[in-house]
Structure formats: structure tokens, C-alpha cells
A and B are shown apart, each in its own frame.
Chain A
Amino acid sequence: MSEAVVERVAAATPGPPRLEWQVATVVSVQQETPRARTLVLDVPQWPGHRAGQHVDVRLVAEDGYQAQRSYSIASAPAERTVALTVERLDDGEVSPYLCGVLQPADGVEVRGPIGGYFVWEVAQGGPLLLVAGGSGIVPLMAMLRHHARADVSARAAVPVRLLYSARTLDDVIYRAELEKLADPPQVEVVLTLTRDAPPAWSGYRRRVDRAMLEAVSWPSSAAPHVYVCGPTSLVESVATLLVDLGHEASRVRTERFGPTA
């Protein structure tokens, strides 16, 4: 390919040349769990996104006070609206606003999509191992939704396993959708409940540990693409264990959410 052609193709890439703040409109809200809510946003100049990317949200009060946080995109790249799922931290500053105050038809300032590191596309192939803690499921859900929309042969070529750690069964975000994905098993979903499990619960009921990862993940020889997301402490312990189990550090991608537990 000649240089001129490369330039023309690059110039034709969609998306604004700079990342600007925009006022998105809340189209709808949906309570996912007692503590988590999905906001569906209409972003006027949305260039499309890749599974795993996030947006920055900025809140400005009347007296000029500002708060800014990042939120992963839950919706599949093919969708025209942008869905965020926010878990409410009671002593937090921004999440109670997004989970409570913000209503349909309200505006909210966002910029994005952001990040080219924690992204996955079907074309990258598999196997794909996803490990989530709490709201860390959100960008992984975008990957699962992207996978579910791929054509049958592409999908079949990429086996997917999700290990998802939540406090209780009620805290499992997207539970119905995950159950559907897991049956028929295009995706293997393994839950572990760290606080409270129903009496009949036969799954894991502890924090993610080495034995659990060894049981759930493919051996390092299968060279899975691994994405780990959630509270910083969980992400760091899981990533360290995976590297100890022989997975190449560069194949283990992480997205730390901070102290969200």
C-alpha cells in the first residue's frame, strides 16, 4: 500500500479529531440490582465504540464545583445508544447521583469513547477468559454482547468463559442475560458469591483464588486472551495469580476501577 493510500484511509476514519465534552441525553434508566442501574444515553456525536472502552462523565454544580469519573460502556459496539451501568457507593460522590438523581430526559456531560488498551474484538480470536468483580462486569458485558452478535462461525471459533465474583446472587448484574448466554453454552458462566449464597447454591462461595482460577481458566498453553476488571484490589490479586499460573503478562489485560468495594 502506498503512503498516499494509507493517508487517505487514515483521514477517512470516523470520529472527531479531538475528544470533546458533549451533553448526552438520558433515554432510559433500568434498575439492574438493588445497587446498580443502567443509564441508556443518546450521545449526539457518537463515533461508535469498541467493546471494553469507557467514557468520562463530568458533573458541574451551579457553584462551579466539578467531579469527574470514568464509566465503562456496557452496550455492544453495534448499538446506537450508549449504555452505562453504575453501581451505587453510598459514601461516593458521583455514583449516588447517577444511580438516583439523574432521570430520563436529563442531560449529562460525557466524553468518549476512551481507551485502546482494554478492548477486545471477535477478530482477535480466542479463547477468551473474562474475570469480573462487582461492577467490573460492565466492560466485559460489552465484550460478551459483541461476541453474541458475531456470526455463527466467528463465534464458534472463540470459546468464552466468564468468572464473575459478586457479593450475593442479588448483586449479580445482568443475571438474566448471562443465564441466557450460558444456555446453550456459547459462553461458560461461573459465579462466585463472596458474602451470602442461597441455601441451594452449588457454586463457589469465596473470593477468587488460585484454585478457582486454575479450575475455571484454560491452561496457559491454550494462550487465552484474558481481561480482568473490577475493584483494584481484586484485579491486582487475580492478575498476579494468573501470571503465577503461567499466563503471559501481556495477555492479561486489566481495568482497575479503584476502591469501589
Chain B
Amino acid sequence: MADQPFIARGFHSRRAAAPPGRLPPGQYETRDFPVLSAGPTPRTPLESWDFTIRGADGGQSSVRWSWDELQALPRETPTVDIHCVTKWSKFDTRWEGVSVDTLLDAALTAGVADGAFVLAFCDGGYTTNLPRADVTGGKAWVAFGYDGAPLAPEHGGPARLLVPHLYFWKSAKWVRGLQLLPSDEPGFWEQLGYHDRGDPWREQRYQGDP
């Protein structure tokens, strides 16, 4: 907007001093875990929950895992910093989940059609798009544990995507699968002007940011 904001006397942002090099530009550290949500919390019973990878052939090829099947896959416990586009960052968050590599490898082995992009889809209708290269190579997980406990529903439980090197809206809550795509298709926030990749170190907040 063109208007000049008026500086509120004595109002300060809550920016805590953080170790140099750890905060991406424009971010501040928070110790809380804010709840940001674009809708009500879905409550899918684990018996009917599944995770699906759909191929870039319009989903004709696909593989799916039930909750128990997902739990039986090898687990990892990444400790990572997370960065929300609304400017908070939280350090050393501890997660438990299955690497997206594990899931994608299994899908491709099973003959699922590969694509250069993925669209994560979720209970409640949320979606977010990512380059395939950003969810492979040990950079992304389907997480179901946080801080030693099952992931709470308000933080995306039973399972959310975890892609900590990108802004946190890419780490889709209540995730139910990945759609492989031959070309990029904007997700829920990306349709409204948010960046297709969302690298916090390059401040890729909005479409058009370099």
C-alpha cells in the first residue's frame, strides 16, 4: 500500500538476539510454536488414514501406504530449524518420520510415473507445490512425531510434510500424499501470490522474488 505507516512510540518487535548466521533475513526467533492454520483441524481416524504417491501420468499410477505400513518403514529423527514466512523461526525442533526419499524410491520402483514437481495434498483441502529436488536427497520427511510425542493435531498430526529448508507453509499439515507433476502447479497459498519455491535464505516469500 502506498500509505506511510506511522511508527508507534515504544512498540518493539519481539526479536530475540540469535546466533549470527542462524536466522534467515527478516526472521526473528520464537520459543513458542505458533499455530497457523487456514482451516479447521481435520480428524481422520488412523484406520482410514493413508499416504499416497500419485504418478505424473495424472495419477493413473500410484502407491499407497496405510498408517501401519508407514510406521513399519525405516524412521529418522531430524533436529532442524524451521522458518515461517510470517517471520518467526524456531530452532532445534525435534521430529520423527519417514524420509520422502524412502517413499519416492518405493513408488518409482513400483512403476509410478516420475515428474519434476510435486503437489502435496492434505485433509481439509490444503495443497502446496514443491520442486521434486526439494523433497529428495535427505531434505524432506513425512513426520508423525514431534519432541518425543505423537505429532499433535493442531501442528498437523497425525502426519505432516517436513521440508525445513523452505518456508514452513511448504511443510503441509495433515498431509495425505504427493502428486508428481510434469510441470509446476501452484498450491493453496502459491495461487494467492506466494513463491513457488520459498527459500528463506533468499527471502523467496512472494511470486516474483528472485
Please tell me whether chains A and B touch each other in their complex, using a CB distance cut-off of 8 A.
yes
A residues adjacent to B (C-beta < 8 A): 20-21, 23, 58-63, 65-67, 93, 97, 101-102, 106-109
Q: Is B92 an interface residue (CB 8 A)?
A: no
> Hey, what's the 0/1 contact readout for B11-22 against A, CB within 8 Å counting as 1?
111110000000
Residue of B nearest to A259 (CB): B35
Is the Cβ of B6 less than 8 Å from the Cβ of A97? no
B3 engages A106 (CB within 8 Å)? no
Inter-chain contacts of B9 with A (CB < 8 A) = 101, 106-107
- Is residue B38 within 8 Å, beta carbon to beta carbon, of the partner chain? no
Q: Can you list 27 A-B contacts with CB-CB less than 8 angstroms, sorted by A residue number?
A: A20-B3, A21-B3, A21-B5, A21-B6, A23-B6, A60-B6, A60-B7, A60-B8, A61-B12, A62-B7, A62-B12, A63-B13, A63-B15, A65-B13, A65-B15, A66-B5, A67-B11, A93-B14, A97-B8, A97-B10, A97-B11, A101-B10, A101-B11, A107-B6, A107-B8, A107-B9, A109-B5
| Cβ of B149 to closest chain A Cβ, rounded Å | 22
Chain B positions within 8 Å of A102 at CB level = 10
Number of interface residues of B (CB under 8 A): 13
- Whole-angstrom CA separation of A88 from B9 in the bound complex: 18
Chain B residues lying within 8 Å of A62, measured Cβ to Cβ, are 7, 12
Q: In the complex, A244→B10 CA distance in Å? A: 48
Residue in A closest to B8 when the chains form the complex, CB atoms = A59
Minimum CB–CB distance for B194 against chain A, Å: 18
Residues of A within 8 A of B7 (CB): 60-62
Binding site for A on B (CB under 8 A): 3, 5-15, 87
What's the nearest-Cβ distance from chain A to residue B8, in Å? Answer: 4
A65 vs B27: C-alpha distance when bound (angstroms): 10
Secondary structure type dominating chain A contacts: mixed
Would you call B11 and A61 a contact (CB within 8 A)? yes
Whether the Cβ atoms of B8 and A109 lie closer than 8 Å is: yes
A23 cross-chain contacts in B, Cβ below 8 A: 6
Task: Say yes or no: B11 contacts A59, CB within 8 Å.
Answer: yes
Q: In the bound complex, do residue B6 and residue A109 qualify as a contact, i.e. CB atoms below 8 Å apart? A: yes
Roughly how many angstroms separate A182 CA and B58 CA in the complex, as a whole number? 67
Inter-chain CA distance A65–B8, complex, in Å, is: 10
In whole angstroms, how far apart are the Cα atoms of A63 and B87 in the complex? 13
Q: Which 7 A-B pairs have the closest CB atoms?
A: A65-B13, A60-B5, A59-B8, A101-B10, A59-B11, A61-B13, A23-B6
Residues on A with beta carbons closer than 8 Å to the beta carbon of B11: 59-61, 67, 97, 101
CA distance in complex: A66, B11 (Å): 9
Complex interface: chain B residues within 8 A of A93 (CB): 14
Q: Distance (Å) between the CB of B185 and the closest chain A CB?
A: 32
Looking at the assembled complex, report how far the CB atom of A256 sits from the nearest CB atom of chain B, in whole angstroms: 13
Q: What chain A residues lie within 8 Å of B13 (beta carbons)? A: 61, 63, 65
Residues of B within 8 A of A63 (CB): 13, 15
Bound CA span A102–B82, Å: 34
CA–CA, A108 to B3, complex, Å?
A: 15
Q: How far is the CA of A168 from the CA of B180 in the complex (A)?
A: 57
Bound Cα distance from A109 to B1, whole angstroms: 15
User: What 19 additional pairs, Cβ within 8 angstroms, besides A59-B8, A60-B8, A61-B11?
Assistant: A23-B6, A60-B11, A61-B8, A62-B7, A62-B12, A63-B15, A65-B12, A65-B15, A65-B87, A66-B5, A93-B14, A97-B8, A97-B10, A97-B11, A106-B9, A107-B8, A107-B9, A108-B8, A109-B5
C-alpha gap A61/B14 in the complex (Å): 10
